Structure 1
Amino acid sequence: MSGANFILLINLSVAGLLAASFMAVAFHDAGRVPARWFASGYVLGMAYSAIEFSIPAFTDARLPVVTAFAVFLGATIAFNAGLARKYGVAPPWPAMLFFLLAATIAVYLVQDLPRQSLARMMAYQLPYAVMQFVGLAIVWSSRQRHGRLDRILMAVLAASGLQFASKPFIAHALGGWGANPQAYLQSNYALVSQSLGTVFALALALLMLAILVRDVLAEVTSKSETDTLSGLLNRGAFTRQAELALLGALRQGVPVALVIADLDHFKGINDSFGHASGDRVIETFAGFLREAAAGHHVAGRLGGEEFAIILPGTNLAAGRLFAEGTRSAFGALPIDGLPVDNRCTASFGVAELHPGEEIADLMRRADEALYQAKNAGRDCVRISAGPADVQVSAGSEASASGRG
């Protein structure tokens, strides 16, 4: 058995293992559509290896050669379909299927050219290169944020495309790819070509498995850190994210404000209108925080009817304005399930980080300011101007004095 035959058998086994790996991912989570496409691609890769291995048994190898080409090109198209599903890009099906048909016809037609002609070799290898660059374009065009693994994937796709494009020249340098298709596996070029194929097939598959596992872990982490009802961070996740936000603000030398809010008379809402109405109040208020928050803000539900949002780059005055705006808008909003004339309100405490403080100190002072707002009649904002100084904000004392 030649070295190329041995590598081809390895390719067949590797493709089977990779197909099984992606099928396992797809079976674990029925929503993993990309994994099913990747598995299909490597199943086609197995078929390609099997056809290549059988070619020496044919007297006229034209049909198996063209079939092997079409099957392998189909494998790259299936892989690109998985990439498109993974990165939220519409798969370019018409273009890819037309290209598959046109390239297969071209390979069939060049069978009459001299075996070692550059045109024949290019017709066989360039379509593979094109599909690798199509995959690169799919990942590049995604609106999703590209992490380190995504950038490595694009680099490997580019390298894979280049190695396909260079194979005709490699074949020429190594003395050709056999006197006929049956002799291909005995050539030095076949050993190099099949080895390169194994390296890139493994690299792409391992990268995609790592990316899929990364996404699964991110989803699990998100679910464990997210409050189900409000969609905001839960208390533990908020505290961790707030600490990171504080550290970032300190490095940048910008102020940080914390706003803590508590829904007024929430128990009365549950008692009078039912827990479903109370849930809608929480969902509505959480939606206000999400809409008001910028990308670098961190919002969370601390528990029950209490919420918090950390505002890097915001001083005490701006934090108070944020709280006043949220208080005013929320208080004017009708809530589904509640009487038209019934309005829900919230009380707010605001504090700005002082030198030497930690997140626990900041939260304690904001909570003290919130306590002052509750004592002042609710539906108002209070600020903590210093570690031992909670002051009244301007604005809503008149409206607050009429509430219990």
Structure 2
Amino acid sequence: MSGASFILAINLFLSGLLAGAFMMIAVYDVRRVSARWLVFTNLLCMAYLIVEFSIPAFADARPPVVAAFALFLASTIAYNVGLARKYEVALRWTPLVVFFFAAGVAVYFAQDLPRHSLARMMAYQLPYAIMQLAGAGIVWSSRQRPELLDRMLMATLVGSGAQFAAKPFMAHALGGWGPAPQQYLQTSYAMASQSLGTVFAMAVAVLTLVVLVRDVMRDATARSESDALSGLLNRGGFQRHAELALRDAARHGVPVSLVIADLDHFKAVNDSFGHAAGDHVIETFAGFLRDAAAPSHVAGRMGGEEFAILLPGTNLAAARLFAEGARSAFSSLPIEGLPALHRCTASFGVAEQQAQEGLGDLMQRADAALYNAKKGGRDQVRTSAPCFEVRPSSWAIASGRG
């Protein structure tokens, strides 16, 4: 067995492993259509490698050569479809189908050209290069902001496209790709071409696999941190994201405030109108918080009818205005399952983070302010004095709310 044949055998084994890995992702999360396309990609690669192995056994090499070309080109197209599904980029099928058949016809008739002509080699390699560069374009066109792994994948696809485009010149430099297709695997060019192709193919496949695993893990984390009823973060998710937001705010030197809200007389709603109506109240309030929150805000349902929203870049005065606006708007919202004239209210506690104060102490002060709002008659906003201030403010004394 020649060195090139040995590399083909390794590629066949690796393609099988990759097909199995993508299959596991597809089975774990049936919503990931991209994983199913990537399984198909690797199955097509395996078929291509088997045909490539069989070429020396044919007296007329034209049919297996064209079949091998078509299978590998189909695998690159299937890969791009999988990428498009993953990165939510629309693909037009008609140009892809036309390109596939046009390239196949060109390779079929290119067999009549001299074996070492540049045009014949270009006809074989350029379609692969175009598909790899198209894959990089799909990643670039993503609606999602590309992260490091996505940029690495895009760069590797560009490199892979470049090596396909360079292979005709590499073949000339290494003495050609054999006097006939049956002798291709014995040439120095075959060894170099298969080795280089394997490096790029494995790099692309592994990066794609890592990107999909990253997405699966993120989705699993998001589901574990989400509250099913409200769609907001649950207590654990809120605490984790809030800690990250506090650290980020400390790095940038911006203020952070916390608002804790509690739905008023929620038990009475459940008792009078049923738990389904109570669920609608929670859903309505949570939806209002989602709409009111900025991208940098962290909102969560802390349990029962209690909610919290962390406001990075917001001081106490601005946070109080946010809470007052939320209180006023929510109290005017009609809620499904409740009588038309029935309105629900919420009480709010607000605190601004002080120097060296952690999330736990900040939540404790905001919760104490919420308790004062409840004790003071509900449907109101109370603020927490800074932790170094033990007496109520003159406003609180004058209003009787201290």
Residue equivalent to 2:293? 293
Residue equivalent to 2:63? 63
Residue equivalent to 1:269? 269
Q: Could you tell me which amino acid in structure 1 is paired with residue 257 of structure 2?
A: A
Q: Could you tell me which amino acid in structure 2 is paired with residue 168 of structure 1?
A: P
Residue equivalent to 1:373? 373
Cα offset for 1:166? 0.5
Cα offset for 1:390? 5.1
Cα offset for 1:34? 1.1
Which 10-residue stretch deviates more, 230-239 or 272-281? 230-239
Cα offset for 1:303? 1.1
SS at match of 1:351: strand
Cα offset for 1:195? 1.4
Q: Could you tell me which amino acid in structure 2 is paired with residue 236 of structure 1?
A: G
Change (3 A) 1:120 1:357: same
- TM-score, with normalisation over the residues of structure 1? 0.95
Change (3 A) 1:305 1:246: same
Change (3 A) 1:17 1:244: closer
Give unmatched runs, 5+ long, in structure 1.
Answer: none
Cα offset for 1:31? 2.0
Change (3 A) 1:389 1:246: farther
In 2: Cα distance, 1:29 partner to 1:301 partner? 26
Residue equivalent to 1:104? 104
Which 10-residue stretch deviates more, 351-360 or 317-326? 351-360
Residue equivalent to 1:72? 72
Change (3 A) 1:33 1:297: same
Cα offset for 1:345? 0.3
Residue equivalent to 2:140? 140
In 1: Cα distance, 2:95 partner to 2:135 partner? 13
Cα offset for 1:389? 4.8
Q: Could you tell me which amino acid in structure 1 is paired with residue 89 of structure 2?
A: V
Cα offset for 1:224? 1.1
SS at match of 1:341: coil
Residue equivalent to 1:346? 346
Q: Is the 8 A contact 1:125 1:168 kept in 2?
A: yes
Correspondence 1:2-401 to 2 at 5 A: 2-387=2-387, 388-389=390-391
In 1: Cα distance, 2:259 partner to 2:395 partner? 13
In 2: Cα distance, 1:316 partner to 1:245 partner? 17
Cα offset for 1:257? 1.0
Cα offset for 1:307? 0.6
Change (3 A) 1:393 1:347: farther
Q: Could you tell me which amino acid in structure 2 is paired with residue 191 of structure 1?
A: M
Cα offset for 1:210? 1.3
Cα offset for 1:26? 1.6
SS at match of 1:310: strand
Q: Could you tell me which amino acid in structure 2 is paired with residue 312 of structure 1?
A: P
Change (3 A) 1:39 1:390: farther
In 2: Cα distance, 1:113 partner to 1:364 partner? 81
- TM-score, with normalisation over the residues of structure 2? 0.95
Change (3 A) 1:245 1:24: closer
Q: Could you tell me which amino acid in structure 2 is paired with residue 125 of structure 1?
A: Q
Which 10-residue stretch deviates more, 260-269 or 3-12? 3-12
In 2: Cα distance, 1:228 partner to 1:208 partner? 30
In 1: Cα distance, 2:14 partner to 2:350 partner? 59
Number of residue pairs matched by the alignment: 397
Q: Is the 8 A contact 1:132 1:161 kept in 2?
A: yes
Cα offset for 1:153? 0.8
Which 10-residue stretch deviates more, 123-132 or 10-19? 10-19
Q: Could you tell me which amino acid in structure 2 is paired with residue 19 of structure 1?
A: A
Q: Could you tell me which amino acid in structure 1 is paired with residue 154 of structure 2?
A: M
Change (3 A) 1:242 1:391: farther
Q: Could you tell me which amino acid in structure 1 is paired with residue 250 of structure 2?
A: L
Q: Could you tell me which amino acid in structure 2 is paired with residue 60 of structure 1?
A: D
In 2: Cα distance, 1:111 partner to 1:356 partner? 75
SS at match of 2:111: helix
Cα offset for 1:91? 2.6
In 1: Cα distance, 2:236 partner to 2:17 partner? 40
Which 10-residue stretch deviates more, 12-21 or 81-90? 12-21
